[in-house]
Amino acid sequence: MRLYANTLKNYTDINNFYVSSEWHVREAEETTLHFRIVDLDRDGLRYISKGTVVTATVRFLSIDDAEEFELTATNPDSDDKSVWSITIPADKTPSSGNFVVSLTEDGTTKSFAVLQGIVTESVDTGGC
Protein backbone atom coordinates (compact mmCIF):
# COMPACT_ATOMS: atom_id res chain seq x y z
CA MET A 1 0.00 0.00 0.00
CA ARG A 2 1.34 3.38 -1.02
CA LEU A 3 -0.37 6.22 0.80
CA TYR A 4 -0.41 9.82 -0.34
CA ALA A 5 -2.20 13.04 0.63
CA ASN A 6 -4.28 15.13 -1.74
CA THR A 7 -4.30 18.76 -0.67
CA LEU A 8 -7.80 20.22 -0.56
CA LYS A 9 -9.03 23.78 -0.95
CA ASN A 10 -12.30 25.47 -0.06
CA TYR A 11 -13.22 22.59 2.26
CA THR A 12 -16.68 23.05 3.76
CA ASP A 13 -17.75 19.44 4.38
CA ILE A 14 -17.29 15.98 2.87
CA ASN A 15 -19.31 16.95 -0.21
CA ASN A 16 -17.94 20.46 -0.76
CA PHE A 17 -14.24 20.86 -1.56
CA TYR A 18 -11.76 20.85 -4.42
CA VAL A 19 -8.64 18.73 -4.82
CA SER A 20 -5.71 21.06 -5.47
CA SER A 21 -2.12 20.57 -6.56
CA GLU A 22 -0.78 22.39 -3.47
CA TRP A 23 -1.73 24.48 -0.49
CA HIS A 24 -1.23 28.25 -0.64
CA VAL A 25 -0.51 30.02 2.66
CA ARG A 26 0.50 33.54 3.65
CA GLU A 27 3.25 34.29 6.10
CA ALA A 28 2.08 35.39 9.60
CA GLU A 29 -1.58 34.36 9.09
CA GLU A 30 -3.33 31.55 10.92
CA THR A 31 -4.50 29.07 8.30
CA THR A 32 -6.51 25.86 8.45
CA LEU A 33 -5.57 23.36 5.76
CA HIS A 34 -7.26 20.12 4.75
CA PHE A 35 -5.97 16.97 3.12
CA ARG A 36 -7.35 13.59 2.13
CA ILE A 37 -5.32 10.40 2.48
CA VAL A 38 -5.53 8.15 -0.57
CA ASP A 39 -4.14 4.73 -1.53
CA LEU A 40 -2.12 5.06 -4.74
CA ASP A 41 -2.17 1.29 -5.26
CA ARG A 42 -5.97 1.45 -5.47
CA ASP A 43 -6.05 4.19 -8.12
CA GLY A 44 -6.15 7.00 -5.58
CA LEU A 45 -9.21 5.80 -3.65
CA ARG A 46 -9.62 7.48 -0.29
CA TYR A 47 -7.97 5.60 2.55
CA ILE A 48 -9.96 5.08 5.72
CA SER A 49 -8.01 3.36 8.46
CA LYS A 50 -9.41 0.29 10.16
CA GLY A 51 -7.30 1.04 13.25
CA THR A 52 -8.91 1.71 16.60
CA VAL A 53 -6.39 4.43 17.54
CA VAL A 54 -5.44 6.58 14.54
CA THR A 55 -3.44 9.81 14.56
CA ALA A 56 -1.90 11.92 11.82
CA THR A 57 0.83 14.55 11.85
CA VAL A 58 2.21 16.90 9.21
CA ARG A 59 5.90 17.88 9.31
CA PHE A 60 6.92 21.00 7.41
CA LEU A 61 10.47 20.73 6.12
CA SER A 62 13.08 23.46 5.72
CA ILE A 63 16.71 23.88 4.73
CA ASP A 64 17.20 25.27 8.26
CA ASP A 65 16.40 22.54 10.80
CA ALA A 66 15.37 25.22 13.33
CA GLU A 67 12.58 26.29 10.95
CA GLU A 68 11.00 22.82 10.72
CA PHE A 69 7.87 22.10 12.74
CA GLU A 70 5.18 19.45 13.11
CA LEU A 71 1.44 19.77 13.66
CA THR A 72 -1.09 17.18 14.78
CA ALA A 73 -4.03 16.71 12.44
CA THR A 74 -7.67 16.18 13.37
CA ASN A 75 -10.67 14.76 11.52
CA PRO A 76 -13.02 17.65 10.70
CA ASP A 77 -15.96 15.35 9.87
CA SER A 78 -16.81 12.02 11.51
CA ASP A 79 -18.50 10.86 8.28
CA ASP A 80 -15.22 10.74 6.33
CA LYS A 81 -12.14 9.50 8.19
CA SER A 82 -9.94 9.99 5.10
CA VAL A 83 -10.05 13.80 5.47
CA TRP A 84 -7.80 15.51 8.01
CA SER A 85 -7.10 19.14 8.89
CA ILE A 86 -4.33 21.14 10.54
CA THR A 87 -4.17 24.73 11.67
CA ILE A 88 -0.91 26.58 11.12
CA PRO A 89 -0.62 29.26 13.81
CA ALA A 90 0.28 32.82 12.80
CA ASP A 91 3.67 32.55 14.52
CA LYS A 92 4.75 29.59 12.33
CA THR A 93 5.62 29.92 8.65
CA PRO A 94 6.21 26.79 6.61
CA SER A 95 8.76 26.85 3.80
CA SER A 96 7.48 26.34 0.29
CA GLY A 97 8.06 22.86 -1.04
CA ASN A 98 7.62 19.44 0.50
CA PHE A 99 5.93 18.25 3.67
CA VAL A 100 5.69 14.82 5.29
CA VAL A 101 2.50 13.19 6.55
CA SER A 102 2.72 10.44 9.17
CA LEU A 103 -0.28 8.23 9.83
CA THR A 104 -0.14 6.10 12.98
CA GLU A 105 -2.60 3.22 13.23
CA ASP A 106 -2.62 1.20 16.45
CA GLY A 107 1.07 1.96 17.03
CA THR A 108 2.27 1.38 13.44
CA THR A 109 3.40 4.51 11.60
CA LYS A 110 3.40 5.04 7.84
CA SER A 111 5.08 8.20 6.53
CA PHE A 112 5.10 9.68 3.05
CA ALA A 113 6.22 12.92 1.45
CA VAL A 114 4.01 15.26 -0.53
CA LEU A 115 6.34 16.83 -3.08
CA GLN A 116 5.90 20.54 -3.83
CA GLY A 117 2.74 20.45 -1.74
CA ILE A 118 2.88 23.94 -0.23
CA VAL A 119 3.50 27.45 -1.52
CA THR A 120 4.19 30.19 1.00
CA GLU A 121 3.61 33.82 0.11
CA SER A 122 5.72 36.38 1.92
CA VAL A 123 3.77 39.35 3.23
CA ASP A 124 6.78 41.69 3.24
CA THR A 125 8.35 41.47 -0.20
CA GLY A 126 10.40 44.63 0.29
CA GLY A 127 10.42 47.67 -1.93
CA CYS A 128 9.94 51.39 -1.48
Domain residue ranges in the chain: 3-121
CB neighbour list of residue 89: distance below 8 Å, 6 or more residues apart: 30
pLDDT of residue 123: 82
Q: Which residues are registered as beta bridge partners of 63?
A: none
> Residue 109 in contact with residue 103, Cβ under 8 Å?
yes
Give the tens place of pLDDT for each residue, 58-112. Answer: 999 999 999 999 999 999 999 999 999 999 999 999 999 999 999 999 999 999 9
Residue closest to 117 by CA, chosen among 80, 89, 91, 86: 86
Give the tens place of pLDDT for each residue, 18-66. Answer: 999 999 999 999 999 999 999 999 999 999 999 999 999 999 999 999 9
The helix (run of H) or strand (run of E) holding residue 30 is none
Q: Looking at the domain that runs over 3-121, which CATH code has it been given?
A: 2.60.40
The span from the CA of 44 to the CA of 38, in Å, is: 5
